Chains A and B, each alone.
Chain A
Amino acid sequence: MTDLIPLDPASAAAGLREAGEGARGFLGVDPVTENDALLTRRLAALDAQVFRAGDTLVGAAPNPHQPRQAYVASTSADEAALRALLGFLVTYRRATSYVALVERGAAATEALRRCGFAERGALRDHRHRSGAPVDVLVWFGKAAETCPS
C-alpha cells in the first residue's frame, strides 16, 4: 500500500509546479498560468487536499452538490498512488463515487482506467493550453465498497 503524505497548501503548490506537465489541469488549476500564491488560493477555495504518494501528487476535492462524490486528480499514470487516494476517500471521507476531469492524452488517464474508471463524455475545447483549445474528458468511478448508509 502506497503511503499518502498530506501536503500543506504551500507545499502542494510547490509540488505541483515541480510536477510540470502532469500538473496542468490538476483539479482545474494550472501551474503554468497561475503562480504559487494563486494556486494555493484556488486549491483552498475548492477545499482540496493534496497528497504526495512517491513521485506522484494526488488530490481530491468534494463535489459541493453531492458530498459523497469527490473530484480526483493525479499528476502521473501511477495506479498505486491513485488507489491509495481512493482508499483514503472511502475510509475517511465516506466517498461513494469519483469524477476526474482530465485533458485528452493526460498521463493520469491510464491510472484512472486501471482503477476502474470509465470515460463518460468529453467537454469539447474546454481548456486552452500551448496555443490551442483542448478537450477535457469526464471520467467516472464508483467506490468498490460503498458504506451502508
Chain B
Amino acid sequence: MPFVTVRHFADEDIPLRLQLLREARFQANLSDFAVAASDDDLVADVRRTIAERQDERRIFTLCGPKGEVMGFAWITSIDWRNQTCELSFGVLPRHRGGPGALGVQAAHDYVRAELNMRVIVNQVLEHNTMLQSARTMAESRQVRCDYDSYTVGEWRSACYWSLTDEDMREQRAQKLARRRVLADRIRARTGELP
C-alpha cells in the first residue's frame, strides 16, 4: 500500500478545501481570491468543477495511509490532445513537510500514468519555499516571471518549469543512484561486503 493515494475530489472534501482557501499561507503562496468570496460562492464554484468542468480542470484529494485527507492537487490549462497540463498543490497545514512531498510525487505519478500527460508545467511563486528550497527552485526554474501575481498586498515573482517524460526518467535514475551510494556507505560502515 503506497503512503499516499490519489483519489477524485468529492463533495465531502469541500469543507477542507474551503479551510485551505481561507488559510493565510495558501493565500500568500497561491491565490487570495477567496478573501472576497462568500462560502456559498466558493462551494458553488467547486461543485461546478466536480460536476461540469472535468475537461478543463480537475481536483484530486491526496490521502494518507489511513485515508485521512492530506491536501489537494489540481490540474489546469489542460491540453488533452497535446498531453500537457499545469499541476498545483495545496497541502493542509498539519501535513506540510515530508508527507506533503510524498503527496506531490503521488500526484505527479497519477497524472502521468493514468491521465497520460507527457509534459507537466509547474508554477511556484518565488517566496514560497514550502515544498522546495529557494536553491532547488533556482536550479529547476526555466522561466522567472516578475509581477506574476498579486497576493495579500504584494507583487510576487513566479518560477515556471516543465517536466517531460525524459526529465522524470532522469530524476528517477538520480534518485536510485543516490540511494545506491547511501546503501554502499552504510554497508561499508557496518563492515558488510557490497
Using a CB–CB cutoff of 8 Å, the interface residues on chain A facing chain B are 32-38, 128-131
Contact = CB atoms under 8 A, between A and B. Distances in A.
Contacts of B9: 35
Given A35-B8, A36-B8, A128-B116, 13 more contacts: A32-B114, A33-B115, A34-B8, A34-B54, A35-B9, A35-B50, A35-B54, A36-B10, A37-B51, A37-B54, A129-B114, A131-B112, A131-B113
Nearest to B47: A37
Contacts of A130: 113-114
A141 to B, nearest CB: 30
A33 B10 contact: no
Contacts of B50: 35, 37
25 contacts: A32-B114, A33-B114, A33-B115, A34-B8, A34-B54, A35-B8, A35-B9, A35-B10, A35-B50, A35-B54, A35-B58, A36-B8, A36-B10, A37-B50, A37-B51, A37-B52, A37-B54, A38-B54, A128-B116, A129-B113, A129-B114, A130-B113, A130-B114, A131-B112, A131-B113
- Identify the 5 closest CB pairs spanning chains A and B, nearest first: A131-B113, A35-B8, A128-B116, A37-B51, A38-B54
A128 B80 CA distance: 13
A13 B68 CA distance: 23
B53 to A, nearest CB: 10
Interface of B: 8-10, 50-52, 54, 58, 112-116
Contacts of B51: 37
B188 to A, nearest CB: 35
Contacts of B10: 35-36
B97 to A, nearest CB: 28
A8 B8 CA distance: 21
Contacts of B115: 33
B8 to A, nearest CB: 4
A128 B52 CA distance: 24
A38 B51 CA distance: 7
A129 B113 CA distance: 6
A34 B59 CA distance: 11
A38 B10 CA distance: 12
A145 to B, nearest CB: 42
Contacts of A129: 113-114
Nearest to B83: A128
Contacts of B54: 34-35, 37-38
Contacts of A35: 8-10, 50, 54, 58
Contacts of A36: 8, 10
